[in-house]
Amino acid sequence: MKTQDLIHDFDTLFEPGRFPDVSQNGLQIQGRQETAKVLFAVDASLEAARRAAQGGYDLLVVHHGLFWSQPVYVRGYMKERLKTFLLNDVGLYAMHLPLDEHPELGNNVSLALEAGIRKEGPLVYYKGIPFGVKGSFDKPQPLEEIRRRLSSSYTGGYVIDGGKPVSTVGVITGDAGSLLEDILRSGIDLFISGEMTHAMVHPFTESGLSGLFYGHYATERGGILRLMEYVRRMYPGIECDFFEYETNL
């Protein structure tokens, strides 16, 4: 199909203009006019770009792209990434916060569903935009039961046990450190996320809030995988694959 039609569908689906994002969301690198093969990945790394080029993919679709709010210097690793895309005519499409927050395909809702949470609304507001998932269980559950439920998809991680059964839960994938105070005031018993920082440990423990932190990469696979399944369902003529590059962070 025409690449511009697929990009238009993505832009309509995610409405990137609604989000105050540091990512330059959308088509970041123009590739071929026709798209028959799409590779999906969490990050626009050099390894992902090379896999797309070597595999004959027309487009790489990622959560973390190459272009953010700061100027880009085309040298070192960035030169190699861009060279791989441009010399092989591979396009790059990136979608950051809009993919986190999409009500059906998003990272946040994906993790919330895996935890078995009944969604009730947003957890916090980020620059005026509802963000994250706040929900509950039908009855209070031990923290260990929630960990067991998530263990098939998430291993290891950092655990803070607030010492009480969990009724209400908040979810924000990736890095939510800048929203710490809002999270603590949200009235939840458990927060599930990606990154845990040193600065978050004491506020969590002193507030009696439980936390499960499974890593930035691991918690942000769900949205891009759901987007891949969406493309497979809507465009059965397009070949889709996922490039796994676990960072363990």
Average pLDDT score over residue span 210-223: 98
Same domain assignment for residues 64 and 142:
no
Same domain assignment for residues 86 and 120:
no
Q: What is the pLDDT of residue 46?
A: 99
Average pLDDT score over residue span 165-181: 98
**Segments forming the whole domain that contains residue 85:** 3-96
Same domain assignment for residues 84 and 112:
no
DSSP codes joined into one string, the chain:
-BHHHHHHHHHHHH-GGGS--SS--EEEE---SB-SEEEEEEE--HHHHHHHHHTT-SEEEEEE-S--SS----SHHHHHHHHHHHHTT-EEEE--HHHHH-TTT-HHHHHHHHHT-EEEE-SEEETTEEESEEEEEEEEE-HHHHHHHHTTT--S-EEE--SS-EEEEEEE-S--GGGHHHHHTS--SEEEES---HHHHHHHHHHT-EEEE--HHHHTSHHHHHHHHHHHHH-TTSEEEE-------
* 41 falls within a domain: yes
Q: What is the pLDDT of residue 41?
A: 99
Average pLDDT score over residue span 5-32: 98
Q: What is the pLDDT of residue 189?
A: 98
Q: Average pLDDT of the chain?
A: 97
Number of structural domains the chain divides into: 2
* 249 falls within a domain: no
Which tens digit of pLDDT belongs to each residue from 124-168?
999 999 999 999 999 999 999 999 999 999 988 999 999 999 999
Whether this prediction's pTM lies above 0.95 is answered by: yes
Portion of the chain with pLDDT greater than 70, in percent? 100
* 186 falls within a domain: yes
Q: What is the pLDDT of residue 48?
A: 99
Same domain assignment for residues 149 and 79:
no
Average pLDDT score over residue span 79-96: 99
Domain with 113 in it: what CATH number? 3.40.1390.30
